[in-house]
Amino acid sequence: MSALLSSRVCSVADYSSVCSLASNLSLSEATVHTAAIIDDLAALKRATLEVESSDPAVAQWLSDEHNAGAVEATAATMNKRAELSGKGNPFNRQSRGTIIDRYNA
């Protein structure tokens, strides 16, 4: 998620706070199912809402990227919770790793 944000908007000064937050976003097995990832995504959302863009497509794109990250983080968390409750395949570290990789791309 952060690589795409960085390559598309970080050259514009108005996006410095968004870029800073996005570049620090990452998901790992250790951070799945923690409040930290939720806090980080919330901070990113607040920053994207503060961006004053004359281009509505950029604002929409930032919102879409935030939503995609939130969905992937939620999917990884739900996967981990299902594994911990004993639901078995496909709720395991391997399938969660695919979700985590997608989030970090």
pLDDT in tens for each of the 105 residues of the chain? 555 555 555 655 567 888 888 888 899 999 998 999 999 999 989 888 887 776 788 888 888 989 999 999 999 999 999 999 999 889 999 999 999 999 998
CA 69 to chain centre: 3
Q: Cα(42)–Cα(44) distance, rounded to whole angstroms? A: 5
Tokens at residue 17, please? 């706070």
Q: Cα(8)–Cα(42) distance, rounded to whole angstroms? A: 21
DSSP secondary structure code for residue 13 in this structure: G
CA 86 to chain centre: 26
- What's the confidence (pLDDT) of residue 34? 92
CA 61 to chain centre: 14
- What's the confidence (pLDDT) of residue 105? 87
Rg of the chain on CA atoms, in Å: 15
pTM for the whole structure: 0.80
